Homo-oligomer: A and B are copies of this chain.
Amino acid sequence: MTNSRSDRPGEFELIAELFAPLATHAGAFGLTDDVAILTPPPGMDLVLKTDAIVEGVHFLPDDPADLVAQKALRVNLSDLGAKGALPVGYLLSLSIPERISMEWLRAFADGLARDQGPWEISLLGGDTTSTPGPVTISVTMVGYVPAGQVIRRSGARPGDVAFVTGLIGNAGAGLEVRRGGGRHLATGDRGYLTRCYQSPLPPVGFGKALRGIASAALDISDGLLADFGHMAQASGVKICIDAGRIPLSPAARNLWGAEAALRAATAGDDYEIAFAAPPARRDEVLRAALACGVRVTEIGRVEAGRGVVLLDDTGAEIAVARAGYTHF
């Protein structure tokens, strides 16, 4: 296939112009070789995660390209952060249809560049290919964690306290707004929620502070209840969430009204951290949160049993049709 389409240069020129400047890590060889090399510091385990986002499934065709790029990175940064790992870099596999312009690609690369600095990550390698389908972006994030200190899903124990970072449901509310919902909302609320959907901000550094404190952790991507459900299953415990304590934004309350807590608990794409810790570690959790500038809310507890339940103010179980959102 020769390159005769739109205004784009060929693959090699594209890589040299847009992506090579992002390969700041020495082991990426400026993208001039076939592989990347990392030399993990002694005593460090390597942490790996891959997640793809697909146009029309995880982002919308008219979402700004720089935000799409940042979302592709952040959904993966979110996983590493929640497990207590520090990200080092990423590999990018980008499948793009003919209609995508050089302007879109420049904005996309700019979005990557703007996230690399704050999170101290480098592009390590990549693959760019054409596709007859939607823009498909697969990122593999690589990081380090001190040997044996990764925070697993499976360590929650009866008696532990269940916490979440940030606000829950904003991204799901933002998707609803992007799809035409929330016409009764003020413009400010609509813009805020849209931005939360397009541009998640995972508390990556806070995961490091949770090492040795949290008994279990994972990031919230499928939805608050679904992800605490994963933790409950892996840990062999029951997790009870108090609906009234789920932290909501005013905008999400305005969108969803009386159903807000339930809707937030079953929306997805929050990219906050769900974690459990023994009650004796509560002060350490809150101190770490203050030090990181991260909002942490105690929203439930771990008990003997199985599964996850959502409880109302009287302690009665709220029926939930489905626990989370699936892109599949």
A interface residues (Cβ-Cβ under 8 A, vs B): 1-3, 10-11, 14, 27, 29, 32-40, 42, 45-54, 56-58, 79-80, 82-83, 85, 91-93, 95, 124-134, 136, 138, 140, 142, 145, 147, 150, 152-154, 218-219, 234, 322, 325-328
For A50, the chain B residues whose CB sits under 8 A away are: 91-93, 125-127, 138, 140
- Other-chain residue from B36, B79, B131, B152 in contact with A47 (beta carbon distance below 8 A): B36
For A3, the chain B residues whose CB sits under 8 A away are: 326, 328
* Contact across chains for B126 and A57 when beta carbons are under 8 A apart: no
Given contacts A133-B131, A153-B34, A10 and B328 within 8 Å (CB-CB) = yes
* Contact across chains for B219 and A80 when beta carbons are under 8 A apart: no
* Contact across chains for B327 and A154 when beta carbons are under 8 A apart: no
For A54, the chain B residues whose CB sits under 8 A away are: 95, 129-133
Distance of A56 from chain B, by nearest CB (Å) = 5
Give Cα A129–Cα B80 distance, bound, in whole angstroms: 20
For A133, the chain B residues whose CB sits under 8 A away are: 54, 131-134, 136
Question: How many subunits of this chain does the assembly comprise?
Answer: 2
- Other-chain residue from B51, B58, B125, B152 in contact with A48 (beta carbon distance below 8 A): B125
Distance of A273 from chain B, by nearest CB (Å) = 11
* Contact across chains for B322 and A51 when beta carbons are under 8 A apart: no
User: Could you give 15 example pairs across A and B, Cβ below 8 Å?
Assistant: A27-B45, A34-B79, A36-B48, A37-B45, A38-B45, A46-B46, A48-B140, A49-B125, A50-B126, A54-B129, A54-B131, A57-B129, A93-B138, A93-B140, A131-B134
> Which B-chain residue is minimally distant from A46 (CB atoms)?
B38
For A39, the chain B residues whose CB sits under 8 A away are: 45-46, 147
Most buried by B among A2, A10, A129, A327: A129
Give Cα A223–Cα B255 distance, bound, in whole angstroms: 56
- Other-chain residue from B14, B48, B52, B93 in contact with A38 (beta carbon distance below 8 A): B48
* Contact across chains for B42 and A136 when beta carbons are under 8 A apart: no
* Contact across chains for B128 and A328 when beta carbons are under 8 A apart: yes
Distance of A113 from chain B, by nearest CB (Å) = 19
* Contact across chains for B328 and A152 when beta carbons are under 8 A apart: no
Distance of A132 from chain B, by nearest CB (Å) = 5
Give Cα A50–Cα B140 distance, bound, in whole angstroms: 8
For A150, the chain B residues whose CB sits under 8 A away are: 35, 37
* Contact across chains for A48 and B142 when beta carbons are under 8 A apart: yes
* Contact across chains for B234 and A33 when beta carbons are under 8 A apart: yes
* Contact across chains for B326 and A11 when beta carbons are under 8 A apart: yes
- Other-chain residue from B35, B51, B85, B234 in contact with A49 (beta carbon distance below 8 A): B35
* Contact across chains for A326 and B152 when beta carbons are under 8 A apart: no
Give Cα A150–Cα B133 distance, bound, in whole angstroms: 36
